[in-house]
Structure 1
Amino acid sequence: MLRLGDDDCATDAVWSPRVHRRDAACCVSTHDFEFCIIFLTSPILTGVVQLQKAEIGIIGGSGLYAMPGLSDVHEEKLETPFGSPSDTYVLGNLEDRKVAFLARHGRGHRIMPTELNFRANIYGMKQLGVERIISVSAVGSLKEEHKPMDFVIPDQFVDRTRHRISTFFGEGLVAHVALADPICSEVAKSAASACKKAGVTGKSGGTYICIEGPQFSTRAESALYRSWGMDVIGMTNLQEAKLAREAEICYATVAMVTDYDCWHPEHDAVTVETVISYLNRNAENACKVVRHTVADMPKTRKCKCGSALEYAILTDRSKIPAETRRKLSLLLDKYLKTQEARA
């Protein structure tokens, strides 16, 4: 399973000719190679930089910065009510869509999965106006049928993490979003179509089990997960999926298989060397899949992701602490202000 980010591939040579730095940095991933790109632009109006609406976010390794066809590239450094994202957002245009990219583990792959500020990463995308996220991630395979170099687009998650915050809510506000189907079917459909167009083996459906890390699994754990029917294993995407749903952002994972974890009798146990080897070999394919996914994405959302909070807030509106409401205004205002206007 893929556990490392490919930030090391993002050399200064990649950055200098194309990226206009504006208080920025980027991020990569650690146990589960993730790619997250957010697409947006930032015009200068009367001397003040303002963020325009972004269309698509992509989370992953910084190697995607050099994606063919990515133009008008610059960086944005954001702060959120939950702290700083993993790095600056790299913004640009791809396939005539406004996009923004975030390296999950930071440039140089310096943040462990447990240390990732998932809330800031997703909230930053919301601040940029992102409505859809494509998360490219390296994973280990728990089934013979998912071979190294294959792409899997899971539709379910199982949580085996222990030390992470997976919600924006609390501090006097209770909300429960539906997560029966944690992946947006529209984004997943575009990703599956993109795999075909890119000429890679792409498989739709399956369960991604998210472990705490940073260590890889023991053989006993790997055997246990296989007995549960899990398909792939990683360390990061579950929290992103949960928070994206709370932020009413469509989300799908494009998982790149790099190894058979440690269960396979005819393959060596997973090592960093193995993961990096397959990541490098699959980097071009990953760029193709992301590019085709962006191009295939419908302009208008017809899914229910954009109204996930409509009936999720249980707390009496008059009892929500003012500071909590202020902190989450980006998520809550469209519902609370509407209700207040009706009252």
Structure 2
Amino acid sequence: MTETLIGVVGGSGLYEIDGLQDAAWVTVETPWGVPSDQILTGELDGVKMAFLPRHGRGHVHAPSDVPYRANIDALKRLGATDVISVSACGSFREEMAPGDFVIVDQFIDRTVARDKSFFGSGCVAHVSVAHPTCPRLGDACETAARDAGITVHRGGTYLAMEGPQFSTVAESKMYREQWGADVIGMTNMPEAKLAREAELCYASVAMVTDFDSWHPDHGAVDITAIIATLQGNSSNGAELVRRLPAILGPERSTCPHGCDTALEYAIITAPEKRDPALLAKLDAVAGRVLG
């Protein structure tokens, strides 16, 4: 058994967790740079928590500028076992209406300007992201949402766009009609890929704010309407997070889906050819397999 530490990465509208015991903002240094902000640590219902505002307090980081590698590394260094992403999104489905939550289980990555791996020349690794989220964590998020009275949809494909602009109508229709995406956002990639490389269980809770630009009755994305919906979503998101410790408990077993052993056979660079400088940077995310 391992002590549970729930890491929460909060997106637009969710910048802290209320009710933490022994709450403290801590600075975590990483070899991948400075995280988005300090990390709020504490306990909730006897379970350790670590909250990181993805865009920084005051929303200072644009989606392409979020230091994704530093964020995941920092949570791993703090001892996180499970990472819950909470983020705003647009919807391509009538039934996934503004105010609804979607427990994402697939991604289409259309980002192009971000560092997407901890590995590279000097230590090459290939992890599987065929199933990029953890079903066990998804179950917990779904239960928490339903217990909180939130309308939640289990399963959905998240189109990760570069941004910071919203979609054109042509793009929105293509993503919806030809690619089969369900929601669209700017921040879950490469976050989910990096969490898998760091052997962290990862779940994505996408909070719908709008219908993107495909919807004939809603037209272009209206940022004022998004902000209004965000206010309701943020309180529901906080309520979902508050219910997770009681569901997940203070201890956890090995992930039945293999998230925490993702690197077992992933590193293919011969030991004698590995770059010592890169290995030093991988001490937190890959220390289990690198020894």
Give TM-score, length-normalised by structure 2. 0.94
Q: 2:80 is paired with a residue of what secondary structure? A: coil
**After superposition, what is the alpha-carbon deviation per residue over 1:230-272, rounded to whole angstroms, capped at 9, x for unaligned?**
0000000121100000000000011110100011111142122
Aligned AA for 2:79? Answer: G
Alpha-carbon distance change, 223 to 65 in structure 1, aligned in 2, over 3 angstroms: closer
168, 172, 176: which is aligned to 2:126? 176
Distance in 2, matches of 1:117 and 1:66, equals 18
Looking at structure 2, the residues matched to 154 and 146 of structure 1 have their Cα atoms a distance apart, in angstroms, of 12
Residues in 2 aligned to 1:209 and 1:100: alpha-carbon distance in whole angstroms: 27
SS at 2:285 equivalent: helix
Query: Shift in Å at residue 336 of structure 1?
Result: 3.1
C-alpha contact 2:10 2:52 (8 A) present in aligned 1:
yes
The structure whose Rg is larger is 1
1:306 aligns to 2:256 (yes or no) = no
The answer for the alignment partner of 1:185 in structure 2 is 135
Asked if 1:138 corresponds to 2:88, the answer is yes
1:261 is matched with 212
Which residue of structure 2 aligns with residue 199 of structure 1?
Answer: 149
Contact 1:54 1:100 in 2 (8 A): no
**2:118 partner SS:** coil
Equivalent residue for 1:32?
A: none
Q: CA deviation at 1:289?
A: 1.0
1:285 paired with 2:227, answer no
- Is this contact kept in 1: 2:7–2:50, CA < 8 A? yes
Change (3 A) 1:331 1:285: closer
Q: Counterparts in 2 of 1:1-343, with a 5 A limit?
A: 55-61=5-11, 64=14, 67-227=17-177, 228-298=179-249, 299-301=251-253, 302-303=255-256, 304-337=258-291
Matched position secondary structure for 1:92: strand
Q: Distance in 1 between matches of 2:44 and 2:135?
A: 22
Q: Distance in 1 between matches of 2:174 and 2:239?
A: 34
Higher relative contact order (CA 8 A, sep 6+): 2
Q: What CA distance in whole angstroms lies between the structure 1 residues aligned with 2:11 and 2:65?
A: 16
Gaps in structure 2 of 5+ consecutive residues = none
Alignment partner of 2:199: what SS? coil
* CA deviation after TM superposition for structure 1 residue 63, in Å: 5.9
Residues 143 and 327 of structure 1, relative CA distance in 2, 3 Å threshold: same
Rounded Cα–Cα distance in structure 1 between residues aligned with 2:201 and 2:74: 15
Partner residue, 1:30:
none
In 2, distance between residues paired with 1:65 and 1:110?
Answer: 12
Pair 63,279 (structure 1): closer, same or farther in 2 beyond 3 Å? closer
The runs of 5 or more residues in structure 1 that have no matched partner are: 1-52, 338-343
Give the Cα separation in 1 of the matches to 2:262 and 2:114: 22
Distance 1:268 1:226 in 2: 15
Measure, in 2, the Cα distance between the counterparts of 1:127 and 1:62.
24
Pairs aligned (count)? 285
Structure 2: which amino acid aligns with 1:224? M
Deviations 1:162-182 (A, max 9, x none): 111110001311100011000
